[in-house]
């Protein structure tokens, strides 16, 4: 079983930065993609960025390319999402999730239905 715990959300002014963390534990996560999603009320979860836990492949949604950076620390089993130049439209609940299938599929923009393990989420609010 896999457990994912997010932290690092908060409120920030437009143009500011936040860093989200996702601590992974359990088994079977190293050979999979871990992704960040965000959700606003009334809408589905949008894939923001992904990283292959056993390699260097990363992927970003067009809306965050150049502003967000996904990385991981293997010594602490933690994946980070560094968010810079934040905009009000980045507001939402951010979740980290682990892909159902093992393998390096992390060149694909994350889609909600491909991910089977989810954290509890952390809220990000960006004010103008």
For the chain, what is the mean pLDDT? 95
Residue 27 has pLDDT above 80, yes or no: no
- Render pLDDT for 79-107 as a digit per residue (tens, 0 to 9): 999 999 999 999 999 999 999 999 899 99
Average pLDDT over residues 10-24: 98
Contact 53, 71 (CB under 8 A): no
Q: Which residue from 113, 100, 91 is spatially nearest to 45, judged by alpha carbons?
A: 113
Residue 41 has pLDDT above 90, yes or no: no
- Render pLDDT for 55-75 as a digit per residue (tens, 0 to 9): 999 999 999 999 999 999 999
Residue 28 has pLDDT above 80, yes or no: no
Q: CA-CA-CA-CA torsion for 36, 18, 9, 59, nearest 10 degrees? A: 0
Residue 110 has pLDDT above 80, yes or no: yes
DSSP string, 84-111: -S--GGG-EEEEEEEESS-S--TTSPP-
Q: Residue 121: its pLDDT value, please? A: 97
């Amino acid at each position: 079983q896999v457990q994912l715990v997010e932290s690092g959300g908060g409120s920030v002014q437009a143009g500011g930065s936040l860093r989200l963390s996702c601590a992974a534990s359990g088994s079977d996560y190293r050979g999979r993609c871990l992704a960040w999603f965000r959700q606003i009320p009334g809408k589905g979860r949008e894939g923001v960025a992904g990283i292959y836990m056993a390699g260097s492949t990363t992927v970003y949604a067009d809306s965050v390319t150049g502003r967000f950076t996904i990385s991981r620390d293997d010594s602490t089993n933690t994946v980070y999402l560094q968010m810079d130049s934040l905009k009000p439209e980045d507001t939402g609940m951010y979740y980290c999730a682990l892909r159902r299938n093992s393998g390096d599929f992390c060149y694909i923009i994350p889609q909600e239905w491909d991910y089977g393990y989810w954290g509890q989420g952390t809220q990000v609010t960006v004010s103008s």
